[in-house]
């Protein structure tokens, strides 16, 4: 049977694909040959940065190459995230993200980056519920009491956040949407000043992380009303979830994970996924996360990608319903 031009093209395409597969496989086997940069799109010294540095150390030990943390804060995380998206997709520039990576994108008037198209998911490391705390002046010990107080006060209540478009902000907006509570957002530049003003009584409630508020909960300076995840926290087993307290379909967590630029070869993604999963399930990282109220997580790149897509859809809905586009 004579060979047609179409048949020749198909054979060439098949040979090229096979050659590419072998080439990428060899690339992953030799990877990494030099230091890897892990961009953290937040300032040094915060909770996310500390987790990133612990991960970088574990990756350096496992890969036998330095993994260097590069803090590129600013723009609510957009500056570092854009830098990573535009980097060469060769596995030598990675991005460490938290849940605010998605909430920021959902609330931008003009997107700085595309959560789904600009990145290749590698792995999620862990996730943790937020906690809902109130100032003593609110005199609310439960979520129903808080909702009642917010509805009865002519001016409602103020809820603090670490900044517009953060997961701490959108957790409050979702609560407001689901309960009809009369609440006004007060944004701060970071959890530190937000915590200080809550303790001083200048704001009434705060959806925040466990590490940021644990000492004040334990001292009795604030009232802990609920945790935001689907299950109770192992650190506060007597405290109900928001959903248990009568707010349906409320399940919000903060999380940490690693991304690469889009089009990074799959064998490299798979190798990094294996390394990150091993670190997340290792004793040192597990102990660190559990002590902060988090749960270590291991999973596939596809599972992490699904989570990113689902969360983006949720927060875009909240942003639209709350008229939050362009709050940055």
Q: Is the pLDDT of residue 120 over 90?
A: yes
Question: What pLDDT band is residue 146 in, cutting at 50, 70 and 90?
Answer: very high
Percentage of residues in the chain having pLDDT higher than 90? 83
CA atoms of 187 and 166, how far apart (whole Å): 10
Which residues lie below 8 Å from residue 180, measured CB to CB, with a gap of 6+?
A: 147, 151
pLDDT surpasses 90 at 231: yes
Is the pLDDT at 17 greater than 80? The verdict is: no
C-alpha to C-alpha distance for 91 and 301, rounded to whole angstroms: 14
pLDDT per residue as tens digits for the range 132-142 = 999 999 989 99
pLDDT of amino acid 75: 87
Least confident range from 20-29, 43-52, 242-251: namely: 20-29
Report the pLDDT averaged over residues 204-227. 96
pLDDT band (50, 70, 90) for residue 20: low
Of 3 and 301, the structure prediction assigns the larger pLDDT to 301
pLDDT digits (tens, 9 = 90+) for 300-312: 999 999 999 999 9
What would the CATH number be for the domain defined by 131-227? 3.40.190.10
From CA 251, how far away is CA 253, in angstroms rounded? 7
Question: The domain 31-128+254-321 belongs to what CATH superfamily?
Answer: Bordetella uptake gene, domain 1 (3.40.190.150)
pTM for this prediction: 0.87
Indicate the SS3 state at residue 250. Answer: coil
Supply the pLDDT for residue 46.
81
Domain boundaries, the chain: 31-128+254-321, 131-227
In the prediction, which pLDDT does 122 show?
A: 98
Supply the pLDDT for residue 175.
Answer: 97
Per DSSP, what are the bridge partners of residue 185?
A: 159
DSSP state of 32: -
* pLDDT exceeds cutoff 90 at 21: no
In this predicted structure, the answer to whether residue 15 has a pLDDT above a threshold of 90 is: no
Contact 37, 93 (CB under 8 A): yes
Spatial separation of the C-alpha atoms in residues 218 and 198, rounded to whole Å: 16
Mean pLDDT of the chain: 92
53 pLDDT band (50/70/90 cuts)? very high
Q: Say whether 131-227 and 31-128+254-321 share the same fold.
A: yes
Note the pLDDT tens digit of each residue in 169-215: 999 999 999 999 999 999 998 899 999 999 999 999 999 999 999 99
| Cis peptide leading into residue 237 (ω within 30°) | no
- Is the predicted pLDDT of residue 243 greater than 80, yes or no? yes
180, with CB counted inside 10 A (0-12, 13-18, 19+), is exposed
- pLDDT in the model for residue 9: 65
User: In Å, how far are 88, 144, 205 from 242, measured between CA atoms?
Assistant: 43, 10, 14
Q: Which pLDDT score, from 0 to 100, does residue 27 have?
A: 66
Q: Is 201 exposed, middle or buried (0-12, 13-18, 19+ CB in 10 A)?
A: exposed
Q: Give pLDDT, residue 76.
A: 86
- pLDDT (tens digit per residue) in 269-287: 999 999 999 999 999 999 9
């Amino acid at each position: 049977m004579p060979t047609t031009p179409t048949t020749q093209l198909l054979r060439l395409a098949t040979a090229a694909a096979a050659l590419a597969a072998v080439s990428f496989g060899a690339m992953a086997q030799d990877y990494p040959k030099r230091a890897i940069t892990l961009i953290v799109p937040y300032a040094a010294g915060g909770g996310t940065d500390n987790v990133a540095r612990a991960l970088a150390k574990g990756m350096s030990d496992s890969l036998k190459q330095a993994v260097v943390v590069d803090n590129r804060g600013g723009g609510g995380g957009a500056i570092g995230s854009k830098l990573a998206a535009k980097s060469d997709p060769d596995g030598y520039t990675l991005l460490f993200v938290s849940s605010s990576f998605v909430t920021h994108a959902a609330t931008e008037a003009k997107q700085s980056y595309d959560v789904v198209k600009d990145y290749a998911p590698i792995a999620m490391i862990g996730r943790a519920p937020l906690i809902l705390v109130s100032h003593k002046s609110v005199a609310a010990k439960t979520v129903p009491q808080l909702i009642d107080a917010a509805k009865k006060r002519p001016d409602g209540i103020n809820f603090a956040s670490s900044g517009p478009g953060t997961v701490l902000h959108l957790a409050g907006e979702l609560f407001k949407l689901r309960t009809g509570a009369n609440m006004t957002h007060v944004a701060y530049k970071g959890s530190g000043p937000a915590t200080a003003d809550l303790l001083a009584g200048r704001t009434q409630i705060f959806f925040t992380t466990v590490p940021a508020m644990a000492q004040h909960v334990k001292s009795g300076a604030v009232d802990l009303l609920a945790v935001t995840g689907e299950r109770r926290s192992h650190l506060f087993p007597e405290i109900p979830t928001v959903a248990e307290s009568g707010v349906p379909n409320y399940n919000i967590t903060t999380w940490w994970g690693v991304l690469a630029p889009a089009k990074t070869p799959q064998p490299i993604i798979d190798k990094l996924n294996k390394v990150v999963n091993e670190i997340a399930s290792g004793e040192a990282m597990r102990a660190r996360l559990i002590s902060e109220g988090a749960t270590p997580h291991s999973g596939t790149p596809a599972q992490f990608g699904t989570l990113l897509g689902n969360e983006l859809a949720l927060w875009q809905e909240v942003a639209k319903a709350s008229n939050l586009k362009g709050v940055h």
